[in-house]
Amino acid sequence: MENSEDEAEKGELPLELKPLVSLAPKVPTLLGYDVETKSTSPLLVYVTPCRPCSSSEQPEEAPPSFCEPTPKSPVPIKATPISVALPTHQQEDESSDGDYKPFCKEKKPASLKKSKRPRQAEKSNVANIKRRSIRRNLDSEFNLCSSSSDNPKESVEGTMMMFDSLRRCILQLDEKEDAGRRADLKAGTLMMHNNLRINNRKMIGHVPGVEVGDVFFFRIEMCIVGLHAPAMGGIDYISSKHKDETLAVCIISSGGYENDDDDTDILVYTGQGGNSRHKEKHDQKLERGNLALMNSRNKKNQIRVVRSAQDPFSSGKIYIYDGLYRIEDSWTDKAKNGFNVFKYKLRREPGQPDGISLWKMTEKWKANPATREKGILLDLSSKAENLPVCLVNDVDDEKGPSHFNYVAGVKYLRPLRKTKPLQCCKCPSVCLPGDPNCSCAQQNGGDLPYSSSGLLVKHVPMVYECSSNCQCSHNCRNRISQKGIKLNFEVFWTGDRGWGLRSWDPIRAGTFICEYAGEVIDETRIDMDVEEDKYTFRASYPGDKALNWNVGAELLEEKSTVVTTENFKQLPIIIRANNEGNVARFLNHSCSPNLLWQAVQYDHGDDSYPHIMFFAMKHIPPMTELTYDYGTRGAPPGFEGKLFRACKLKSCLCGSKYCRSLF
DNA sequence: GGCGCTTCAAACCA
DNA sequence: CTGGTTTGAAGCGC
């Protein structure tokens, strides 16, 4: 069990396992963090650490180091493990009296043990982690980012968002220094070593907060949310001293062996082993995962299945949680290389939501949009966009939105002031990170705002993309949003919230979604009715989640990039999309949104009226409604009721302290 | 408790 | 454009 002695011990860890520590405790405020406040007493929320099943009593008080000013040293003297801030819902699992009780086996949470591989760590990690010593209090930030302990889904989303934020920033740092690879593993390791993993205990059945259809872009992501523990291995199992009690809990079918992935309800899975790249091939043995699967066949326990798909926007794989299966049959077979392998036939449990089957549908639609059932219009944009925008209604007979002109961009109904000159870099070919001569990088604070794969790295007050005056080519990574949509969208009838927007493509966090197109008007003109206001964008407030999207960056960087409303000063821009607009006019409000809006400049210098570009805040499975936080301030009377309704409809997602009942 | 071995990665380059 | 190479990490099990 963890106690304060353990924690003191953890403070003396080797450097590479140093916890992310508090050097300057911060108090979360409503709109960010109060940098000035030194007080830690009333507002800090202490969350009890993750504990194994058996533990029932939880200490209420925080470790003493929490309340004391921590010395400003890169090496912690008395570190507070991040686990004290970990949202934990495992307590809830135990006490829940639902009809399904997941089998759970006590498993020590990944603890801050002494270094496992000191030599290796010294070789590769020390420099990185040292540079990345965490200078501020992570605890409050993580709480803010992942919500409280009572909502497993929020915990998973917060953990995933923090991971990806870390990953994008490590990628950016590594790129600039032209050193290191595998930012995914570095981000994962950082989180593991700081006890930021959730669902530590292996369990049979669903993992709290992970839903069928959820997508992952790295193996390590499934690791840190407890869906599938092995970093590489395909079979996750609970091992036991009694060999016949070793049971499989999760498998990943990702094409490493000769599996047939065609049927969406049946999966024939090949056992592990005998396939090593470094050693001679041999017959598979009934041990480890193979043994676990055999026992699971006899015990008939549920097994989580993760299937993989090709990422349409990169060479990487996407992992899709396809829900629970059971093993029906098993046998041995000859692989193509002539050696014996184990085969297991799994059948999907009935009554689960669409998982991989949804992907088969969207792939068919992408190949030929005309195959989309209940389609009303093949291209709502009438070729104004790079890709067709399908209009569908699979709910009722509603025939389509009221008439508007589809335009892909903004039209300025007010004169623009030239407050800043246009971007004008001299980069040959494309802008590259770490180039001190790239004026565009300088304008963006020294770093290019996008990763090499075109993902937004951080949410900032303004992104300056390369302009027509720049010498770099069209392929420059600093020209993401100006090139228009890349996703296959459909505008669909929600039934209760009007028309909404979703994508046939899986979307990775940081992906550019679309611009808010329409007529840019003057703030003075607010004589619009409710209907017109429904299709109006106001740059009032980025939203709590959007403000906390950079939480990983906060932990890595020396200089403070704390986002507050001061950084994000309110923009006067109002975009009316009642008469003219694009897909963005169909984005609905949510208090638990999956998109954020980012101000972007590339074709004029009036920073008060930038382009409003939407980016994904988290990984979004295909066919998931895209939403953003409409904000509250500046909304005229009459609008309130509608917003409140929209929020209430989503209250299941944001019933916590984040649901702003004030609309 | 430590370390070696295995493991259906991921990114990059030739 | 793809297959081989490189870098890389968790956790089982001895």
pLDDT of residue A65: 30
Which nucleotide comes closest to A311 if you measure CA to C1'? B10
Q: What percent of chain A has pLDDT over 90?
A: 50
Strand C: which nucleotides have any atom within 7 A of a protein Cβ? 2, 5, 7-13
Cα separation, A663 vs A645, whole angstroms: 9
More confident residue, A269 or A126: A269
- Statement: residue A225 has pLDDT above 60: yes
Q: Return the sign of the alpha-carbon dihedral for residues A652, A360, A513, A564.
A: positive
3-state secondary structure of A345: strand
Would you say the C-beta of A192 is within 7 Å of strand C?
Answer: yes
- Statement: residue A638 has pLDDT above 90: no
Which residue's CA is nearest to the C1' of nucleotide C10? A231
Cα separation, A434 vs A245, whole angstroms: 54
- Kindly report each contact of residues A530-534 with a partner whose C-beta sits within 8 Å and lies 24 or more positions away, as own/partner: A530/A638, A530/A639, A530/A642, A531/A578, A532/A576, A532/A578, A533/A635, A533/A636, A533/A638, A533/A639, A534/A498, A534/A578, A534/A639, A534/A642
Average pLDDT of span A257-270: 79
Q: Return the sign of the alpha-carbon dihedral for residues A615, A619, A623, A628.
A: negative
Report which of residues 514-543 in chain A place their beta carbon less than 7 angstroms from any atom of strand C: none
| DSSP 8-state symbol, A16 | G
- Our measurement of CA A28 to C1' B7, in angstroms, reads 42
- Which phi and psi (to 5°) does residue A551 adopt? -55, -35
Cα separation, A246 vs A111, whole angstroms: 23
Residue A543 tokens, joined: 């939203």
Going from N- to C-terminal start, the domains of chain A cover: 4-196, 235-352, 364-423+477-654
- Which phi and psi (to 5°) does residue A177 adopt? -90, 0
Which residue from A622, A526, A617, A522 is spatially nearest to A573, judged by alpha carbons? A522
Torsion angle (degrees, nearest 10) of CA A443, A447, A448, A453: -170
What string of DSSP letters covers A458-521?
A: ---S-EE---TTS-S-TT-TT-SGGG---S-EEEEE-SSSSEEEEESS-B-TT-EEEE--EEEE
Which parts of the protein come within 7 Å of strand B, by CB position? A 113-114, 116-118, 181-182, 184, 217-220, 230-235, 252-257, 259, 269-270, 272-276, 278-279, 288, 308, 314-317, 452
Average pLDDT of span A554-558: 70
- Our measurement of CA A273 to C1' B6, in angstroms, reads 8
pLDDT of residue A264: 87
pLDDT of residue A554: 75
Cα separation, A320 vs A217, whole angstroms: 9
A338 to each of A271, A277, A281, A344, how far by Cα in Å?
A: 15, 16, 9, 18
Cα separation, A398 vs A524, whole angstroms: 35
Which residue from A172, A170, A166, A122 is spatially nearest to A142, judged by alpha carbons? A166
More confident residue, A210 or A258: A210
Angle at A474 between CA A471 and CA A478, to 5 degrees: 80
Which nucleotide comes closest to A219 if you measure CA to C1'? B9
pLDDT of residue A659: 52
Would you say the C-beta of A115 is within 7 Å of strand C?
Answer: no
Question: Which CATH fold topology does A235-352 show?
Answer: PUA domain-like (2.30.280)
- Statement: residue A551 has pLDDT above 90: no
Cα separation, A623 vs A489, whole angstroms: 9
Q: What is the pLDDT of residues A230-243, one digit of tens each?
A: 999 999 999 988 88
- Statement: residue A222 has pLDDT above 80: yes
- Our measurement of CA A204 to C1' C8, in angstroms, reads 29
Which residue from A198, A240, A221 is spatially nearest to A88, judged by alpha carbons? A198
Average pLDDT of span A515-527: 79
- Our measurement of CA A275 to C1' C2, in angstroms, reads 21
The answer to whether the beta carbons of residues A479 and A336 sit under 8 Å apart is: no
Would you say the C-beta of A155 is within 7 Å of strand C?
Answer: no
- Which phi and psi (to 5°) does residue A11 adopt? -70, -20
Residue A601 tokens, joined: 């400049």
Candidate ranges A49-53, A385-389, A495-499; pick with highest mean pLDDT: A385-389
- Our measurement of CA A652 to C1' C1, in angstroms, reads 46
Q: Cβ of A560: how many Cβ atoms within 10 Å?
A: 12
* Residues facing A325 on adjacent strands: A303, A348
pLDDT of residue A652: 31
Q: What is the pLDDT of residues A334-348, one digit of tens each?
A: 887 888 899 999 999
Would you say the C-beta of A181 is within 7 Å of strand C?
Answer: yes
- Our measurement of CA A265 to C1' C5, in angstroms, reads 37
The answer to whether the beta carbons of residues A65 and A48 sit under 8 Å apart is: no
Residue A595 tokens, joined: 């998109």
Candidate ranges A68-82, A109-123, A152-166; pick with highest mean pLDDT: A152-166
Candidate ranges A130-134, A274-278, A427-431; pick with highest mean pLDDT: A427-431
Which residue's CA is nearest to the C1' of nucleotide C4? A277
pLDDT of residue A243: 82
More confident residue, A149 or A547: A547
Which nucleotide comes closest to A233 if you measure CA to C1'? B7
- Statement: residue A557 has pLDDT above 90: no
Report which of residues 357-396 in chain A place their beta carbon less than 7 angstroms from any atom of strand C: none
A552 to each of A129, A161, A168, A657, how far by Cα in Å?
A: 14, 8, 9, 22
Residue A574 tokens, joined: 């109002």
What string of DSSP letters covers A27-79?
A: EEETTEEESS----TTTPPP-PPP--TT------SPPHHHHSPPPS-SS-SS-
Candidate ranges A23-32, A66-75, A216-225, A645-654; pick with highest mean pLDDT: A216-225
Q: What is the pLDDT of residues A55-108, one digit of tens each?
A: 333 333 333 332 223 333 322 222 333 333 333 333 333 333 333 333 444 333
- Our measurement of CA A236 to C1' B6, in angstroms, reads 13
Report which of residues 199-258 in chain A place their beta carbon less than 7 angstroms from any atom of strand C: 202, 223, 229-233, 239, 246
- Statement: residue A281 has pLDDT above 90: no
- Statement: residue A180 has pLDDT above 50: yes
Which residue from A83, A20, A4 is spatially nearest to A51, judged by alpha carbons? A83
User: Residue A165: which H helix or E strand, with range?
Assistant: helix A152-177
- Our measurement of CA A630 to C1' C3, in angstroms, reads 48
pLDDT of residue A558: 57
Alpha helix (H) residue ranges in A381-469? 439-443
Lowest mean pLDDT among A526-530, A543-547, A602-606: A526-530
Alpha helix (H) residue ranges in A178-271? 183-193, 219-224
Q: What is the pLDDT of residues A309-322, one digit of tens each?
A: 999 998 899 999 99
pLDDT of residue A149: 57
Which residue from A263, A261, A372, A359 is spatially nearest to A311, judged by alpha carbons? A359
Which nucleotide comes closest to A269 if you measure CA to C1'? B8
- Our measurement of CA A361 to C1' C1, in angstroms, reads 27
- Domain A235-352 identical in fold to domain A364-423+477-654: no
pLDDT of residue A50: 34
- Statement: residue A564 has pLDDT above 80: no
- Our measurement of CA A66 to C1' C8, in angstroms, reads 34
- Our measurement of CA A277 to C1' C6, in angstroms, reads 14
Residue A85 tokens, joined: 């801030």
Would you say the C-beta of A122 is within 7 Å of strand C?
Answer: no
Which residue's CA is nearest to the C1' of nucleotide B12? A181
pLDDT band for A201, please (50, 70, 90 cuts). Answer: very high
Mean pLDDT of chain A: 75
Return the exposure string of A54-82: e unless at least 16 CB atoms fall within 10 Å of the residue's CB, then b. ebeeeeeebbebbeeebeeeeebebbbbb
- Our measurement of CA A254 to C1' B8, in angstroms, reads 5
A364-423+477-654: CATH architecture: Beta Complex (2.170)
Average pLDDT of span A648-660: 41
Would you say the C-beta of A315 is within 7 Å of strand C?
Answer: yes
Q: What is the pLDDT of residues A399-444, one digit of tens each?
A: 999 999 999 999 998 888 888 888 889 998 889 888 888 999 999 9
